Amino acid sequence: MSKQEHSKKVYIKVWIWLLAITIAGFIVSPLGLPGWLHNLFIVIIALMKGGLIVAYFMHLKFERLSLIYSILLPLILIVALAVALLYEGTTRFL
Amino acid sequence: MNHDAVLEQKKIMESEWGGGKAPFGVSWRKYMMWIFIVSDAFTFGAFLAAYGLFRVTSAGWPDTYEVFTAFPFIGVEAPMLFVAMMTFILICSSFTMALAVSASYKNDRTKALKFLGLTILGGSIFILCQVYEWYHIIHDGATMTSNPWGVPLFSATFFMITGFHGLHVLSGLILLTITALKVKRGFYERRGSYEGVEIVGLYWHFVDLVWVFVFTFFYLL
């Protein structure tokens, strides 16, 4: 628990970033981008926000590698489930 | 215990998984919170994946920019503005939570208490906003099995996902209140470790994290 990990400066920086990319996610909607590009942009923004929260607010970035892996690797299963269901949904029922 | 047994015990304790070391570099309390968070992520992941399946297999899906237009007191329709404000509030409460952890590690009890209070305030406002939104959508005629926008699964998934998230916010508020009282009474100071604040913080950040994804997949996409 070094002081640097819980530094106020870093938290303020992360907070400002979070707010900035949240606003970016909003103003992109009325721009009339093609659907897939808009969705890709929105999902990337969500992943960036999630990454910032997990890495800095939950300071997983500063934990031991074994902990980082034991938290992040199981999440692949969620992605696998989503991909499987969306694939199933778009190929068999339509 | 004879000498050999003592040596054997010592050898076990010194091995990586023998119980004498922390292989993940964190206390068991914090590790258990992380494990809980992973399992909870699975629950929400399953919810959102099922929502995705429902959405791609439905004949259509209501435009959320047309459904969520209510905003209290302004009298005009403001698509998604209210949800944006809720997101803003929750991100801010996550930020004050981080500051509370930061202050508690500096043994600054007053400051930690102040930031915990702000976090509880943010969470409470968020819950009230959600009550308003639920009130509004129910008033429009949405139930678990039907709604005026045509796709029954739309309101079913809305109530399930935001309701489950709201329940997490509510539990978080209770945990935060207990933690704040413990800080106030000097519980962590006597124990010599403010890790309890950090662990509740992990949970609260996770609730914020889930909202980021609910907000993205349910409202924005």
CATH code for the domain in which residue B149 is found = 1.20.120.80
| B87: in domain | yes
Q: Is the dihedral of CA B21, B25, B30, B33 positive or negative?
A: negative
| B198: in domain | yes
Question: How many structural domains compose chain B?
Answer: 1
Q: How far apart are the C-alpha atoms of A92 and A42, rounded to whole Å?
A: 27
**What is residue A6's predicted lDDT score, i.e. its pLDDT?**
67
For A81, which of B23, B45, B215 is closest by C-beta distance? B45
Using the Cβ of B131 and the Cβ atoms of chain A, whether some distance falls under 8 Å is answered with no
For B53, which of A43, A75, A89 is closest by C-beta distance? A89
Where do runs of H (alpha helix) occur along B76-186? 81-105, 109-139, 152-184
Using the Cβ of B31 and the Cβ atoms of chain A, whether some distance falls under 8 Å is answered with yes
Per-residue model confidence as pLDDT tens digits over B141-168: 999 999 999 899 999 999 999 999 999 9
How many angstroms from the chain centroid is the CA of residue A51?
Answer: 5
Backbone dihedral region of B87: left (phi > 0), alpha (psi from -120 to 50 degrees) or beta? alpha
**What is residue A36's predicted lDDT score, i.e. its pLDDT?**
87
The pLDDT > 90 percentage for chain A reads: 64
**What is residue B75's predicted lDDT score, i.e. its pLDDT?**
72
Mean pLDDT of the region A7-13:
90
Residue in chain B lying closest to A67 (CA): B24
| B73: in domain | yes
Is the pLDDT assigned to residue A5 strictly greater than 80? Answer: no
Stretches where chain B sits below pLDDT 50 are: none
Residue A52, min C-alpha distance to chain B (Å): 10
**What is residue B1's predicted lDDT score, i.e. its pLDDT?**
60
How much is the ipTM here?
0.90
Mean pLDDT of the region A78-85:
94
**What is residue A92's predicted lDDT score, i.e. its pLDDT?**
64
Using the Cβ of B25 and the Cβ atoms of chain A, whether some distance falls under 8 Å is answered with yes
Using the Cβ of B170 and the Cβ atoms of chain A, whether some distance falls under 8 Å is answered with no
Amino acid in the structure at residue B42? F
Q: How far apart are the C-alpha atoms of A51 and A68, rounded to whole Å?
A: 12
Band (pLDDT 50/70/90 cuts) for residue A3 is very low
For A66, which of B24, B80, B87 is closest by C-beta distance? B24
Domain ranges of chain A: 1-62, 64-94
Tokens of residue B121, six digits: 């305030």
Q: Could A82 and B45 be called an inter-chain contact, meaning their C-beta atoms sit closer than 8 Å?
A: yes
Q: Which of B91, B153, B200, B206 would best serve as a mutation to test chain A binding (most A beta carbons within 10 A)?
A: B91
- Residues of chain B contacting residue A77, judged by C-beta atoms under 8 Å apart: 42, 45
**What is residue B44's predicted lDDT score, i.e. its pLDDT?**
97
| B37: in domain | yes
| Domain boundaries, position B114 | 26-220
For B:33-52, CB contacts with A below 8 A are: 34, 37-38, 41-42, 45-46, 48-50, 52
